DNA sequence: GAAGTTCGATTGTCCGGACAAAGCATTGAC
DNA sequence: GTCAATGCTTTGTCCGGACAATCGAACTTC
């Protein structure tokens, strides 16, 4: 095991983070092969000139990510799995872009409306209070993929239609300093109405994939509530669920 | 803040875990109201007769769950959100049961077959090697809800048809000492074929919700691969996605 | 040869302390 | 009145050490 590890104490990056990144890179790169032992924590700490708690913190973050497994009396092993990287909270725009499809967006509606009871409950604002309402059509290769209707609380974000045609909503939020934390989603299916079909280029009665989502930032605030409709013939969700012990 | 906290040092339950459970219960119960400060870690540790690292470990676990937020120079606050509890890896059987529906299962097929290329790739076994194949019909109130087809690696579990009619697959796995860690899912929709419709009590062409899932345990092993078909008129997925920073 | 026992290795838990970094409020200067 | 400097509070990072719990293998015993 000739793994090259080193930390830079003059860097402002925390030591445990430097270490966890190097370990993760080694796993990703194949230098640390699945099933291989990592060497015990004490020795590893001594070799790097770190304390055991620091090494443990680095390892723990990778255990949480599912890249490592610790077993008492045995050691810490690299997981042998096909699991690559746990997906982020998926943005349809980014998904399409990285899949080589050329995503485009038409902003159909971008206005401020009074919150309905459902929207108010989801966003945690007063019923009848102002909320942004955005309706978008998402296209790939010029073909309609999905119809997206979103509500956002006021005073959160400048919603510029031009920006929304150039990128996805999540990226705009992150750029505005909002750190997304989690999303509650409900996914179902139903047959398209005539109106929906026309909008998406499907016949009436065609199967549609529906999603309702409320997204929360790291302070627990709801930052977005949306109802999305996807052409089932063109799209399916891929995501990874983690078990919280 | 008259929060009652105490730890039992004679208990085998780790101290940090005792504390995090009490804090979680207080949040759940409303004793700790959203937005309220938790009191600084040093003082909290002193009051409980614990060290600061132990208190931090307890708090950190709740931060990871999204129940608390820490801010330097400010303190640790209870998140003010409608986020309830992060869902576990959902088991359809348990979901139905806790929703008051009376779930039932018919085991249609329970046999060992050679692994197809797709199954072999998903489970990480040799193509043509033995795998369990289980087909089930899941009912609620006597009505068909879903058709479930699952593949499991050999030597993992005793697959008893009677047990599978009495409970869900995940519960059987956990009972066999398997700790589930994560699942990779793909959810889509399509129109029912005549055969599928008949099996589920829907007309041909009715919208169906489809799911493909590979489940991994904490060692990274794939422990299950399944293709499920749900009646969209009767069921939709609810789940929570977490962002991994 | 099989079963139980002991023992070393390794992670799990916990302690007490130290200094740095960031927020916030107050104070001070202009 | 506005802005910058200062100081206090709190979390973030890191250290070194101690003992317990668990696993696996070697060993002993029957």
User: Model confidence over B4-46: pLDDT tens digits?
Assistant: 788 888 888 999 999 999 999 998 888 888 888 888 899 999 9
Among the partner-chain residues A219, A233, A236, the one whose CB lies closest to the CB of B186 is A236
Q: Comparing A98-102, A131-135, A222-226, which segment has the lowest mean pLDDT?
A: A98-102
A184–B240 CB contact, under 8 Å: yes
Question: CATH 3.40.1410.10 region(s) of chain B?
Answer: 83-238
**pLDDT greater than 90 at residue A132:** yes
Query: Which residues in B lie closer than 8 A to residue A206 (C-beta atoms)?
Result: 191
The first and second tokens of residue A149, run together, are: 């209707």
Q: Which residues contact A2 (CB under 8 A, 6 or more apart)?
A: none
Q: Which residues contact A139 (CB under 8 A, 6 or more apart)?
A: A103, A104, A105, A106, A145
pLDDT in tens, A208-227: 999 999 998 877 788 899 99
Mean pLDDT confidence for A145-164:
88
Closest nucleotide over all strands to B73 (CA to C1'): D10
Query: Which residues in B lie closer than 8 A to residue A205 (C-beta atoms)?
Result: 205
Query: Quick one: A136 exposed, middle or buried, by C-beta within 10 A (0-12, 13-18, 19+)?
Result: buried
Q: For A207 and D10, how far is CA from C1' in angstroms?
A: 54
Residues 12-31/A with CB < 7 A to strand C: 12
pLDDT in tens, A15-69: 999 999 999 999 888 888 888 888 889 999 999 999 999 999 999 999 988 889 9
Question: CATH 1.10.10.10 region(s) of chain A?
Answer: 15-78
Among the partner-chain residues A79, A89, A210, the one whose CB lies closest to the CB of B219 is A79
pLDDT band for A128, please (50, 70, 90 cuts).
very high
**pLDDT greater than 80 at residue B74:** yes
**pLDDT greater than 80 at residue A155:** no
Among the partner-chain residues B82, B182, B237, the one whose CB lies closest to the CB of A187 is B237
Closest nucleotide over all strands to B9 (CA to C1'): C14
Percent of chain A with pLDDT over 90: 45
Edge-to-edge, what's the strand order for the sheet holding A207-217?
A103-114, A130-140, A143-152, A222-231, A207-217, A180-191, B237-242
CA B117 to chain centre: 28
**pLDDT greater than 80 at residue B223:** yes
**pLDDT greater than 60 at residue B52:** yes
Q: Which residues pair with A77 in a beta bridge?
A: A37, A69
Q: Between B83 and A128, whose confidence is greater?
A: A128
Q: Are strands A68-71 and A75-78 parallel, antiparallel or unpaired?
A: antiparallel
Q: Between B237 and A204, whose confidence is greater?
A: A204
pLDDT in tens, B126-168: 999 999 999 999 988 888 989 999 999 987 777 888 888 988 8
CB of B216 under 7 A from strand C? no
Phi/psi of residue B125, nearest 5 degrees:
-115, 175
CATH number of A15-78: 1.10.10.10
Residues 51-90/A with CB < 7 A to strand C: 52-53, 56, 70-76
The first and second tokens of residue A214, run together, are: 């409320």
Q: What integer pLDDT is reported at residue A51 of this predicted model?
A: 94
Global pTM value: 0.80
Angle at the Cα of B45 from the Cα atoms of B43 and B51, rounded to 5 degrees: 135
* CATH T-level fold of B83-238: Chorismate lyase (3.40.1410)
Mean pLDDT confidence for A99-104:
80
Residues with CB under 7 A from strand D: A 14-17, 49-54, 57, 71-74; B 12, 38-43, 52-53, 56, 70-76
Q: What integer pLDDT is reported at residue B245 of this predicted model?
A: 53
């Amino acid at each position: 095991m000739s793994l090259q590890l080193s930390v830079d104490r003059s860097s402002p990056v925390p030591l445990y983070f430097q270490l966890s990144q190097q370990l993760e890179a080694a796993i990703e790169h194949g230098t640390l092969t699945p099933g291989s032992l990592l060497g015990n924590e004490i020795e590893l700490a001594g070799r790097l000139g770190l304390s055991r708690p620091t090494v443990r913190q680095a390892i723990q973050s990778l255990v949480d990510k599912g890249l490592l497994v610790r077993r008492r009396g045995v050691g810490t092993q690299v997981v042998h799995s096909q699991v690559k990287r746990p997906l982020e909270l998926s943005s349809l725009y980014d998904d399409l872009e990285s899949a080589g499809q050329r995503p485009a967006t038409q902003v159909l509606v971008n206005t401020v409306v009074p919150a309905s009871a459902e929207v108010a409950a989801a966003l945690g604002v007063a019923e009848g209070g102002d909320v942004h309402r955005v309706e978008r059509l998402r296209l790939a290769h010029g073909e309609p993929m999905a119809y997206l209707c979103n509500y956002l609380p006021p005073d959160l974000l400048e919603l510029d239609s031009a920006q929304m045609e150039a990128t996805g909503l999540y990226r705009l939020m992150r750029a505005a300093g909002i750190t997304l934390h989690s999303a509650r989603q409900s996914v179902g299916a139903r047959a398209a109405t005539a109106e929906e079909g026309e909008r998406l280029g499907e016949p009436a009665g065609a199967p549609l994939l529906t999603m309702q989502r409320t997204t929360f930032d790291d302070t627990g605030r709801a930052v977005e509530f949306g109802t999305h409709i996807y052409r089932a013939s063109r799209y399916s969700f891929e995501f990874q669920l983690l078990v919280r012990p």
